[in-house]
Structure 1
């Protein structure tokens, strides 16, 4: 028999959204909150060292080692789409890029019938979650206790040459891509301070854990949502396979912040989802919502590699032997170093075709390269990497539970490049990246293209490379999309409450109706700030002020 305990709110997941919610809700001392995290505490030292992401992404101890289904447009490959499984969730293992996207992203959400989700409505919540270090402005946040957002401090001459080359192609140097004007080239802003990653757990959850009204339970894997009729009453969870289940009950709300894949799976195994899927799983239907698990989207990226000329030192050399030791020493002394940088150094937000009003591509550049077919193993020669992906892919897939066993990974099918427009934009992005890598400004540093190589010139040849070498950017969204009740594919309303249910709310990237023109982390923080106000009865940031 499962044991039971009672709280006002039970939050499943301690990632970006769960950490923010735990902090904001427990600021009221009269409210009790329990957070269930499937993974361990964030004590792994590689979590906190920015360059440690190369270790944590491959570590099943702190990540969900999810893989997509093999599909024709990936050459039948199953692509690793790792997600965080520790305090801080994805914010403890991600690339630390802070990127809000374009105002039009949110305005389109509002235009779909989601009241209060336009850019003007959401900007105060971006600002609330952020502590922009060293720069001020009307659009930027200076909130004490928010996520610190800092500028790149380790600058490589090849990166500078890449930027100069882009400017030579007519791409302006961007002042602040998070100001609402995204177009241009420049260095990424990142969530690193004093040489350390600052995850959502460090910024939001850990301070709140000092409060007596918050309890955080790690290694607690939610196995199902408990219901009385259509009302969510709690969560059943397990510490391991075969363990006796435990229960935590919610007097006010159950909040699912488990991430795009796990949120969909948990709803499905609990009886909320498409009736035909629930029937195959042998799960009684609590409430049929056919949108649960559908509308799944991700950014699909192809990356090109150039070999640098002899004598040019890139990350490939600086990350080995005595040179790595020197970088460690610089890190210990608080000087700019390669260990405290994000994996992507330079951004380019630009257009796949002339005549577009706004960029539809995100491109990245790093003065380093990884061996073909190997996960974050540096090449043994000096090299650089640049890649691109489409801002708003049209291709949609799904996430489906395979069984009611929550220790079995779900079926994840992103249907990459299944829409003809996505193929067109993807190929245009690859050609743009190739132009950016072959500017006169870079020619004194670079020798030749090694991936895909000069023999790949036609659309068919480039698409074949994309199928065999493209990868996820870990930007998973949409499996519990927000929309009005008249939308048969919508799962939550514009207050993030599940349609047709009571006391059940979803707060994570799964509610995004469409892909933002950005990495998803910053917008997930904003969503959680917005949801915290909804829960506390505050409809706008002005009311909360």
Structure 2
């Protein structure tokens, strides 16, 4: 494309899309299409400090079981409305992704994206990126939970983003002054004036002629008709639900589109505590990561947090001990039907997942008993986790951790289920890429936001301009 400034249209101003835009804004004419609002810079207080999902900022997805699947419809995407859980994943998460996506390949982008306030001088961390990482002062419940974990033989883990870290330690979290620091707060201010942002604009399809992406058909805010934004390169960064919807709407008929959906299922062990103790650190306090049966690859998370913080219908004195299954085998799917988008999360479809989550609950229940023995929390009478058929109980109670990935997965040329190649190019369509969580070949054993930001940063290196 020598001789002219290439035009790039990015669909989705979320965790990956804004990182990609930041990486190419000085060498391309970049337009970002975002269906949600632009709250402006600096980010408003509500999107920094509130935990109740903001009304009107959800894409409205539902699973085939009718469960809400919250996705942020706002600049910054879900990083503007999530809990700012900042765990990257393990090196053994990335190495199986293969050539170009191993831990060694991904680490430079992970480092470039962050400023780690405690460990920025370590080789595996960054100290000058736009996403500020920190660890917050624990509260009394975190202290009791940490003591219980140590007494049970779990090691200390002061930095959960150190390679191979497992054990009990503070949550890494992307926050500034305890406020949520996603791509809206951390990246968008530096993009203003460098890119064109079309907020509240609906992307209908990628216009493809003669095997090449030519632009994106959109309806802009306040308009009733459509127009085509011309582009030399189109990048879909609309997320694990939005990206396959757009591929299907654009006539991209590849067998892997919408398949291989993965998500972390989790369950809650709820106890009671003094509301004042909960309030001292209601979220992002302590985190246990451990491997079932001594195998670090069979990872679970266990951590306490305030249920009331996210759902005001819950008692203010309720504390949830969450158990997340971080290495699920089960797969779901996304289908576009005449009746709408059908999303089957596939939670616990595989027997090994049911056994593993039940075992994780047993571990958490033992820790909760230890915490209760100190008097910090009270376990309710006849808790569900002490019932007869624990596997049946976890199947009935499993919820989404809201980490969908894999619906346009990357892979080798001989993999018929791979939607994009190792440079994130959509197979069979020139000038079309995907850069978001949908390209993950397998879910990370971690909250997926930092890995998604990394994919956006890597895409800036891989895009051909």
TM range (shorter): over 0.9
Q: 2:134 aligns with which of 150, 161, 174?
A: 150
Equivalent runs, 1:386-405 vs 2, <5 Å: 386-403=321-338
Q: 2:369 aligns with which of 434, 438, 459?
A: 438
1:377 alignment partner in structure 2: 312
- The answer as to 2:17 corresponding to 1:33 is no
d(CA) in 1 for partners of 2:133, 2:32: 26
d(CA) in 2 for partners of 1:477, 1:96: 18
d(CA) in 2 for partners of 1:529, 1:258: 15
Call closer, same or farther: CA 1:223–1:347 in 2, change over 3 Å: same
Provide, for residues 228-275 of structure 1, a one-character-per-residue CA deviation record: whole Å limited to 9, x for no partner. 121011000124799201210102x100000000000010011113xx
Call closer, same or farther: CA 1:166–1:225 in 2, change over 3 Å: same
2:101 alignment partner in structure 1: 117
- The answer as to 2:418 corresponding to 1:490 is yes
What's the CA shift for 1:46? 5.3
Call closer, same or farther: CA 1:270–1:422 in 2, change over 3 Å: same
Tell me, yes or no, if the aligned pair for 2:307 and 2:314 is still in contact at 8 Å: yes
Q: 1:220 aligns with which of 201, 209, 218?
A: 201
- The answer as to 2:268 corresponding to 1:303 is yes
Call closer, same or farther: CA 1:380–1:393 in 2, change over 3 Å: closer
d(CA) in 1 for partners of 2:265, 2:205: 31
2:453 alignment partner in structure 1: 525
DSSP 3-state at the match of 1:226: strand
d(CA) in 2 for partners of 1:442, 1:47: 38
RMSD: 2.2
2:20 alignment partner in structure 1: 21
Call closer, same or farther: CA 1:455–1:513 in 2, change over 3 Å: closer
Q: 2:148 aligns with which of 140, 153, 165?
A: 165
d(CA) in 1 for partners of 2:218, 2:163: 42
Indicate the larger mover: 168-177 or 378-387: 378-387
- The answer as to 2:437 corresponding to 1:509 is yes
Q: 1:53 aligns with which of 33, 36, 51?
A: 51
When Rg is computed on C-alpha atoms for both structures, the one with the higher figure is 1
Tell me, yes or no, if the aligned pair for 2:216 and 2:228 is still in contact at 8 Å: yes
1:448 alignment partner in structure 2: 379
What's the CA shift for 1:344? 4.0
What's the CA shift for 1:83? 0.3
DSSP 3-state at the match of 1:313: helix
What's the CA shift for 1:470? 2.2
- The answer as to 2:77 corresponding to 1:138 is no
For structure 2, the residue ranges without an aligned partner over 5 or more in a row are none
2:189 alignment partner in structure 1: 206
What's the CA shift for 1:492? 0.4
DSSP 3-state at the match of 1:186: strand
- The answer as to 2:94 corresponding to 1:106 is yes
Equivalent runs, 1:75-94 vs 2, <5 Å: 78-94=66-82
What's the CA shift for 1:455? 5.7
Q: 1:350 aligns with which of 278, 290, 296?
A: 290
Q: How many pairs does the alignment contain?
A: 458
DSSP 3-state at the match of 2:231: strand
What's the CA shift for 1:411? 1.1
Provide, for residues 349-398 of structure 1, a one-character-per-residue CA deviation record: whole Å limited to 9, x for no partner. 11222x414451122212x3349xxx612643623211112212111111
TM-score by length of 1: 0.80
DSSP 3-state at the match of 2:228: strand
1:334 alignment partner in structure 2: none
d(CA) in 2 for partners of 1:63, 1:458: 36
What's the CA shift for 1:54? 0.9
What's the CA shift for 1:84? 0.8
d(CA) in 2 for partners of 1:455, 1:194: 38
Tell me, yes or no, if the aligned pair for 1:305 and 1:385 is still in contact at 8 Å: yes
